[in-house]
Structure 1
Amino acid sequence: MNINDNEQIVNLLLILIGLPACGKTTFSKTLIEYLYSNKINLIDNNNLTSNIDQQINIYHLEYDEIFKLICKKIDNNNSLENWKPTRLEVYSQILNIINNKNNKLILLNQILPIKSYKLSNNIDNNNNNSIDNINKSKTIINLIILDDNMYYKSMRYKYYQLSNSFQNVKYCQIYFKKDIYKSIENNNNRTINNQNHNNFKNINYHSDQDEMVFLLSKEKERNITKNNIIHQFDLQCRKIISDIMKSKTKSSGCNSSVNTPYSNVSKVLSQYKQTFLKTTLTGFIQDNHDYIQEYSDIIPPPHIKIAF
């Protein structure tokens, strides 16, 4: 995103994945302090040329803290109702950071960087009128750390899509693998206000009963739609093969009831069909499950005759 001719914005989106109390927030704070204390350059050092300055802004979006603010904002401490607006708030906040505008409606104030620092080439800083300073470019780098459990792929996918929708967004995710019993132990060692009671009963940290039911029902719908799509494609493929074989046997004058050279063709086509349904189509649906419902629209209705 170019703010002006001499300014560019790069957004680095870092997604943290893991159970509660597995160390995501501790990692975030340690990383932020390390980057800030050492003034780390977040992009290729080759990009820091004599005519480019950098400003690094570090954002830490911690779901638990935003959830508390949302509950306070709407005067309702019922997590069964507030997890949805909290997730929407987090996503909208990130979009506003990426766009450098407050385009998305948010409940809270726009989140500000928790740390910021600059990297400069320090060329003749006292000569503000020099040609080098006038033509100097500036790169703004936003490191956005999303500190949430992000257990389901569907929860992360919309953030991954941002890297496809915006050329200035780079996506990265880190998975924190930790024994659940160790996570429970860490949770018990927290102060009372920061403990997450009963959340370990569900594999998704922020999925309380209401959210878990929603996600499970969504997953069930996906499986039903997936099976229906495969079934519909199977019927269409069978019909296509049948039409091809009828056309071939009719044109050759062969009796379809006896063994002919076209029998082998039928077997080969059937094998291709099985391979397509079991691997290609299934894999395609699995990789694009967020749009799976839309795929049903590309299946021709049974009454439409397909020409070859």
Structure 2
Amino acid sequence: MTTKVRETQICLVVFIGLPGSGKTTLCRLLLEFLRTSCKSLSDILHHTISICYDELIPADKFRYQDESSQWKQARRGIVNYVKSLVFTLKDIEVLNMVNSLEVAVREELLKVVQNEKKTRVYIIVDDNMYYRSMRYEYYQLAKLYSFSFCQIFVQCSVSDALNRNSSREQSTAVPEEIITRMAERLEPPDRQNNPWEIFSLTVPSEKWTVAEIKKISLFLNNAAEHPVVMPERNNEMCQESRRICSTNVIHRVDIMLRKLVGDRMRERSQTSVQRDDLQELSKAFTDLRHHILEGIRTGTIIIPEDTYEAINLDQSNCGHRLQDFLNGLLTIS
């Protein structure tokens, strides 16, 4: 059974920040403000759906392990969960939800599908998102289904994050070395070099006032009014040239893939992984590299427009863009 929704407008909001930055506190305050102060604006009904990684990924040691297959599988599950929410809001099929968080989400969805007015839904994803590739995956989802995407980066020093983390209960505290390592790898939004990050807001970690929360809500409102649009391809020759990549692009992709695979294999070889397992992993990465190259050659895998152009124009930042994109593809469960 399906239900028709009247003009549902989706805005996906991704939070970025270290553990202990106050990111989740800000997220909670923002949710409360949106739910109580912005119920209706310009004849648009507002709804919020909060997705918190800490609530959905068990507090086991693998939560912050970059190379853990369990960690990757858990994160993949949340991305798929958000995708299911989008499908529900776009096609309006009722999800089969069972846990307490999902029950709360269902209540919000029911409010959306039952109203007769234009509706805006903020899907707020609360996680560290320290790699740009983690966020780009959500941007791709917004681009594919033509809804809005924005980022909120809670900027915080390592020392402040460590101090706040130390005051947490032991069951919720994050190991200090994880916070330090995450800070070293953190890739803040870069609007200048990554056009897809244009709707990004950096806020300092502090005690937020109502006035500051209101400013953030205005930023969200602006972002929601600008959905991500897939570029039009009116020229048939242009379509063909994008489908079948140039020799230069394929060459750069192959070099980057070999580097990334080499880096990951060296990291694994320094652990207690058995030799047979390393050989099996090497074969899996090689097969995946060939699969990615073939997908890009045939057009089943599309390199982001800005990255593709940066490679062809030999721009200085093309390597970082390509690495971000390929890191998201080079995943072995």
Question: Normalized against structure 1, the TM-score is what?
Answer: 0.53
* 2:260 counterpart residue number: 221
Higher CA-based Rg: 1
* 1:58 counterpart residue number: 48
Superposition map of 1:7-156 within 5 A:
7-41=6-40, 45-46=41-42, 48=43, 54=45, 56-68=46-58, 78-79=62-63, 80-100=68-88, 111=102, 112-113=104-105, 116=108, 137-156=116-135
| Structure 2 SS opposite 1:203 | helix
Shift of 1:37: 2.1
Superposition map of 1:192-271 within 5 A:
192-198=170-176, 199-203=178-182, 220-221=259-260
| Structure 1 SS opposite 2:13 | strand
* 1:188 counterpart residue number: 166
Q: In 2 relative to 1, CA 223–155 (structure 1 residues): closer, same or farther, beyond 3 Å?
A: farther
C-alpha RMSD of the superposition: 4.3
| Structure 1 SS opposite 2:120 | strand
Contact residue 11 and residue 149 of structure 2 kept, 8 A:
yes
CA distance in 2, matches of 1:118, 1:104: 11
* 1:280 counterpart residue number: 314
Contact residue 60 and residue 146 of structure 1 kept, 8 A:
yes
Show CA shifts across 1:183-234 (max 9, x none): 0000001111110123224126999xxxxxxxxx97942899xxxxxxxxxx
Q: In 2 relative to 1, CA 106–151 (structure 1 residues): closer, same or farther, beyond 3 Å?
A: farther
Show CA shifts across 1:241-277 (max 9, x none): xxxxxxxxxxxxxxxxxxxxxxxxxxxxxxxxxxx98
CA distance in 1, matches of 2:37, 2:51: 22
Contact residue 158 and residue 180 of structure 2 kept, 8 A:
no
CA distance in 1, matches of 2:81, 2:124: 12
* Letter in structure 2 aligned against 1:145: I
* Letter in structure 2 aligned against 1:17: I
CA distance in 2, matches of 1:205, 1:67: 23
Q: In 2 relative to 1, CA 277–16 (structure 1 residues): closer, same or farther, beyond 3 Å?
A: closer
Contact residue 130 and residue 185 of structure 2 kept, 8 A:
no
Q: In 2 relative to 1, CA 107–180 (structure 1 residues): closer, same or farther, beyond 3 Å?
A: farther
Shift of 1:18: 0.9
Q: Which structure is richer in relative contact order (CA contacts within 8 A, separation 6 or more)?
A: 1
CA distance in 2, matches of 1:288, 1:150: 18
Q: In 2 relative to 1, CA 289–102 (structure 1 residues): closer, same or farther, beyond 3 Å?
A: farther
Q: In 2 relative to 1, CA 223–151 (structure 1 residues): closer, same or farther, beyond 3 Å?
A: farther
- In structure 2, the gaps of 5 or more residues are 187-255, 264-309, 328-333
Shift of 1:64: 1.3
Contact residue 12 and residue 171 of structure 1 kept, 8 A:
yes
CA distance in 2, matches of 1:277, 1:138: 45
1:171 pairs with 2:210: no
Q: In 2 relative to 1, CA 177–22 (structure 1 residues): closer, same or farther, beyond 3 Å?
A: same
CA distance in 2, matches of 1:157, 1:178: 22
> Percent identity at matched positions?
21
| Structure 2 SS opposite 1:280 | coil
* 2:289 counterpart residue number: none
* 1:158 counterpart residue number: 137
Shift of 1:141: 2.4
Contact residue 34 and residue 48 of structure 2 kept, 8 A:
no
CA distance in 2, matches of 1:218, 1:105: 38
* Letter in structure 2 aligned against 1:113: V
Contact residue 14 and residue 146 of structure 1 kept, 8 A:
yes
CA distance in 2, matches of 1:57, 1:34: 11
* Letter in structure 2 aligned against 1:175: F
Question: Normalized against structure 2, the TM-score is what?
Answer: 0.49
| Structure 2 SS opposite 1:194 | coil
| Structure 2 SS opposite 1:30 | helix
CA distance in 1, matches of 2:170, 2:32: 26
Show CA shifts across 1:117-153 (max 9, x none): 999xxxxxxxxxxxxxxxx942332211111111111
Shift of 1:87: 0.5
Contact residue 51 and residue 126 of structure 2 kept, 8 A:
yes
